Structure 1
Amino acid sequence: MIKLLEPINIRGLEMKNKIVLPPMTMDLATEDGLVTEKVKDHYKKMANTGVGAIILENHYINIQGKQSERQLAIDRDECIQGLSEIADIIHKNKVVCGVQINHAGSAAHSAITGHKIIAPSAIIHPKGTEVPDEMTTEEIENVKKQFRKAAGRVKKAGFDFVEIHGCHGYLLNQFLSPLTNTRIDEYGGIRANRIKFPIEIVKEIREEVGKDFLIFYRIAAADNMENGLTIDDAKYLAVKLVEAGVDVLDVSQGLAGSRPVTNQQGFFVHLSEGIKSVVRIPVITTGGIKEGLFAHHVIEDGKADMIGVGRAILQDDQWVNTIKEELKDVR
């Protein structure tokens, strides 16, 4: 049997294979972030692709952290009903599923949110144009509570796990990176201080959802910018995240966003391999993976435990079935 296509059990949650549909923003929600028929139709189609797990696209936990006009929301109880319907749709296909929760920080735009944007420090985002307000201690506490409540709503909606978005230049990544965090209080300065905010969020969420509900964390394994986060920083964070209660690490990059770093597929595999070397929990890798044989070798070589395949499946909803045929004679 090909390891990629074998089930994986994560603390009692069994995926039928090791292929994950990663979170990809579709912008199909209502203007106030609620589920539409288009959203349900999209995930119904994705649930029939043969993947083992689906991570729903990033949902904003607070209007101030909204990223795009029709981004899905998880900032109020009104959001639960529509998300519950999606969870039911996906589960009918024997696919496990979770929701990614996020605050965009200085990557948000006041023209979209209607509010002043906030961040660890009053530094313009590398991809932005607005100077954010430096978050007060009270605002930090409020955002922690909003992440906690959002995770509780994910559980109430019937999902199997929640994923915290900690990369791609959003708020948690901004706290981690010395390029965007120049605070002089307990949340800034040395590395141990800069990881404090995301670690506290994980602990809050673990307390909210209980010990049996799974927590995924999408980790920024490198900023790919001069003087930014490095893989060594990410390894340090990864160990602390596991200690705080994270069950799965979903590896991507930081402030540089999700864009390719090479023309080759699997451009985050080297980062996943680095993270995997310091933790014993499952690690997901992504990065333009489009060939079944490539994905097979990543798993076989122990560089990751699960493979995130996004664009290839969006372009071809038979991708999983196709690679099953391609790999059936592989030894």
Structure 2
Amino acid sequence: MTTLFEETAINGMVMSNRMIRSATWEGMCEQDGKPTEKVVNWYRELAKGGIGLIITGYAFVRPEGKQLPGKMGIHTDAVAGDYEKLTDTVHEAGGKVALQIVHAGGETDANTAGRQPLAPSAVKVDQFPEMPVELSKDEISDI
């Protein structure tokens, strides 16, 4: 059991222990995906509580890839800069943080994504109301 609390490294990133907090959806970001003080404080508290590595809730890489309101987004350089504060805050509290990047594909709707969903194939996801538009291979590479 002592191994759990020992320092470890993943590809050169040293963590204070082997406790990893998996990604969850907090729903605390602004509509454009920018982190709010509330989410920054949330991650600070996790790090202060002794989590060695925090994996964030997912961050959409393009606006049309956003799944739900309040999701993180890292789709422009300007927004990416806002995540420096979150990262610095977690580091200052003794933790490490990994940003999970995602495109929702067919798991979104036009109201959230701002257009008809885009996905690798035109297969409707039961929980979402719209049939996605199938992406070309070039479009997939672009995302």
TM range (shorter): over 0.9
Equivalents in 1 of 2:2, 2:21: separation in Å? 19
- Does 79-88 or 123-132 show the bigger shift? 123-132
Aligned mates of 1:80, 1:63 — CA distance in 2: 13
Number of residue equivalences: 143
**SS of residue paired to 2:56:** strand
For 1:132 and 1:11, how far apart are their aligned partners in 2? 37
Cα deviation, residue 141, structure 1: 2.1
Which residue of the partner structure matches residue 77 of structure 2?
A: 77
With CA pairs under 8 Å and 6+ residues apart, which has the higher RCO, 1 or 2? 2
Q: How does 1:41-190 map to 2 (within 5 A)?
A: 41-143=41-143
Secondary structure of 2:72's counterpart equals coil
Is 2:29 the partner of 1:29? Answer: yes
Mapped to 1, the partners of 2:6 and 2:97 lie a distance apart of 18
Distance 2:133 2:64 in 1: 12
Alignment of 1:38 with 2:38, yes or no, is yes
The CA distance in 2 between the partners of 1:49 and 1:111, in whole Å, is: 37
TM superposition shift of 1:68: 0.9
Structure 1 unaligned spans of 5+? 144-331
Matches of 1:128 and 1:80 in 2, distance apart?
Answer: 28
Instruction: Give, in whole Å, the separation in 2 of the partners of 1:66 and 1:11.
Output: 30
In structure 2, what is the Cα distance between the partners aligned to 1:6 and 1:105? 39
User: What is the CA distance between 1:80 and its match in structure 2?
Assistant: 2.3
TM-score by length of 2: 0.92
Once the 2 structures are TM-superposed, how far is the Cα of residue 11 of structure 1 from its aligned partner?
2.4
Give the TM-score of the pair, scaled to structure 1.
0.42
Q: CA deviation at 1:33?
A: 1.2
CA contact (8 A) 2:48 2:94 kept: no
TM-superposed deviation, 1:94: 2.1
Identity %, equivalent residues? 29
1:72 deviates by: 1.2
Q: Deviations over 1:10-68 (max 9, x none)?
A: 22211111111111111111111112111211111111111111111100001111011
**SS of residue matched to 1:85:** helix
Instruction: State the structure with more CA Rg.
Output: 1
The answer to whether the 8 Å contact 2:116/2:130 transfers is: no
Deviation by residue 1:162-184 (Cα, 9 ceiling, x = unmatched):
xxxxxxxxxxxxxxxxxxxxxxx
- Name structure 2 gaps, 5 residues minimum: none
> Which has the higher mean CA deviation after the structures are superposed, 72-81 or 118-127?
118-127
Distance in 1 (alpha carbons) for counterparts of 2:21 and 2:137: 36
Q: Deviations over 1:270-322 (max 9, x none)?
A: xxxxxxxxxxxxxxxxxxxxxxxxxxxxxxxxxxxxxxxxxxxxxxxxxxxxx
Maintained 8 Å contact 2:106/2:117: yes
Taking the aligned partners of 2:77 and 2:15, their CA distance within structure 1 comes to: 28
SS at 2:86 equivalent: helix
In the alignment, the residues of structure 2 paired with residue 103 and residue 120 of structure 1 have an alpha-carbon distance, to the nearest angstrom, of 11
